[in-house]
Structure 1
Amino acid sequence: MVVIRLSRGGAKHRPFYNIVVADKRVRRDGRFIERLGFYNPVAKEGEEGLRIAQDRLTYWLEKGAQASDTVARILKKGSATKTAVAA
């Protein structure tokens, strides 16, 4: 099965996550099919905390990829933030 999940990077106590499409059997930070964007949970004010290619996300979801619980929560929070900014 293909999943959309986080792949950890960054330094100690300074996490940075890539949002990737990967085979479920591959380890967390291992080989992936495509990088869709990133999530920075410790972004400072004025820094970009979340970026994702919406067209590619839609493509993979249509192909049957399933988002992990964490990615689904991040995407939901990110879409709510964009809606609030646009209003």
Structure 2
Amino acid sequence: MEAALGRRLDTGGPAAPAQPRRIVGQGAAALAAGMGVGRFAYTPTLPLMHAQAGLPPQLDALRHRFAHHLGPLPSRVHTIRGGN
């Protein structure tokens, strides 16, 4: 756009120093915001969606057990085996 206005673009100088902590912080904040929206927007509607899909109530308990108890298992095994 600056070139269209008749201004010279500076392309020969060194790039601005990267700020990795700032970028990571912004990414973490965006991820937290997205997860927060998903948690509080979709969780109350989950029983309704299950009922409309015709899923039995027992499946809710199984899903809950799996998600909260077995979900972190692969991460724990990876850590125990010396993963980074």
In the superposition, the TM-score normalised over structure 2's length comes to 0.25
**Bigger-Rg structure (1/2):** 2
In the superposition, the TM-score normalised over structure 1's length comes to 0.24
Structure 1 or 2: larger strand share?
A: 1
More relative contact order, 1 or 2 (CA 8 Å, 6+ apart): 1
